[in-house]
Amino acid sequence: MRVGFIGLGSQGAPMARRIIDAGYPMTLWARRPASLEPFADTSADVAASPAELAAASDLVCVCVVNDADVQEVVTGERGVLAGLREGGVIAVHSTVHPDTCRSLAEQAAAHGVSLIDAPVSGGGPAAAEGRLLVMAGGDAETVERCRPVFATYADPVVHLGDLGSGQLTKVLNNLLFTAHLATAASVLSLGRDLDVDPGRLAEVLSHGSGASFALGRVAAAGGTLERMASHAGPLLQKDVRLVADLAEAAKATPGTVLETADAALALMGHRR
């Protein structure tokens, strides 16, 4: 399978590197030439546009930041759909609204192209080690066709159901992570007020029943959420807002998790 990769950021770059190292023919495209420099020592080809990349690919992986970016690289004048042959597949690794994937899938189908949503969780280090989590939604046969490529950078790769289910699962995961951040930061702050060293408290908790991924992130950031505000804050704000909107539209009851997530956003200086 020939693979194209768009979105060579802190997470996408190690994903692309894993695919290349696994021996797949790879074509890359990036808006910024600097994003391509780390791949100068690889066998990857560089395309002049998403359309040119798609013309050389059977599977195009998209790992850009937001809905607008995904739509632009897929449906723009020189976008992926302008070059991808019939039978090709687009995998959206970005975290976007499920309806964005559904709309793009309809447009792709008109070109004889399949689209699946496959958001990821774990970050750059996990990608580099081949242990990202891929949450896939869409046609089961298409997901299985892509699974060997996903397996180069992810374990596990979970097929969740219809198109959009991967995105729904990803934002629910991020909602819970955001709530965990608030809880972890609050516990470390309480420990500080009770004269328990936050660093040592975090070390103990990480080996006990109160351990969580969020606790590790807060501890690494000095025991507060201040250092996470500029980068993680806006991304988590986007996802929490999306879950809240989806829950309201479905008339679902999210319980207290949204309130706790809002508390985390507030500690980072953001509001849903």
Return the active site residues. 170
In eight-state DSSP terms, residue 191 is H
d(CA 210, CA 228): 21
d(CA 116, CA 136): 7
The token duo for 221 is 């950031």
d(CA 42, CA 24): 11
CB atoms within 10 A of CB 3: 26
Where do the DSSP E strands lie in the chain?
A: 3-6, 26-29, 45-46, 59-62, 89-92, 114-117, 120-121, 132-137, 154-161
d(CA 158, CA 168): 13
Q: Tell me, what amino acid is at 272?
A: R
The token duo for 53 is 């990349």
